[in-house]
Amino acid sequence: MGRTSDARERMLDAACGLIRDRGYAGVGVAEVCAVADVRKGSFYHYFESKQVLTREVIQEHWQTQRARWVAVLSGGGPPMERLEALFAMQVQDLRAEQADGAINGCLFANLSLELSTQDATIRADLESIFDEQAALVAAVLDDAVVDGSLTPDGSSGELAAAMLAQLEGAVLFAKLRNDAAALDGLWGQLVRLMR
């Protein structure tokens, strides 16, 4: 029986960390291979290009994040508590990043800022993820309307997008200042958006 290799997973993990730390342009294939302890020739066995690697990093990172989002948003409790828990989880993740030394921010937002005008394929991948995030939040906002904790005032999709934009803006300031305190009061800001 042949030996199984985890080289592909090691390269994806290495690329995710490097891209999150330094951005797409700041990372080369040779460095990904070095961090993953994989020969450069093996890279091209698994990935056609750096773009293909990055697209897979984006999808794998979203699969992990999506599972966490769904667990929180579909958990028990009233809709507003589930939403608050989702945004609290995001803040907690940033506080953990700061404890490790630096706030790198959201992989998806960072890549959106860096590549959305340069790579239409990656831009479409990222747009799809943000659309899915908004849909997950919008579904809980709809639940809040049904249970009476939120008065309908326009589209739940538009409100969800505004809430995510508020989150990403706060994350940007936290990254800029390397201070998770930029997220203090985030839930209060989001509640004001829902009024």
Give 55-96 pLDDT, tens digit per residue.
Answer: 999 999 999 999 999 999 999 899 999 999 999 999 999 999
CA quadruple 153, 158, 161, 167: dihedral, nearest 10: -30
Give pLDDT tens digits for 178-192: 999 999 999 999 999
Contact yes or no for 121/51 (Cβ under 8 A): yes
DSSP symbols for 93-161:
HHHHHHHTT-----HHHHHHHHHTTT-HHHHHHHHHHHHHHHHHHHHHHHHHHHTTSS---S-HHHHHH
Which residues of the chain are under the pLDDT cut of 50? 1-3
What's the token pair of residue 92?
A: 């907690």
CA torsion sign for 191, 129, 109, 93 is positive
> Which residues touch 6 (CB under 8 Å, ≥6 apart)?
none
Contact yes or no for 170/182 (Cβ under 8 A): yes
Predicted TM-score of the model (pTM)? 0.94
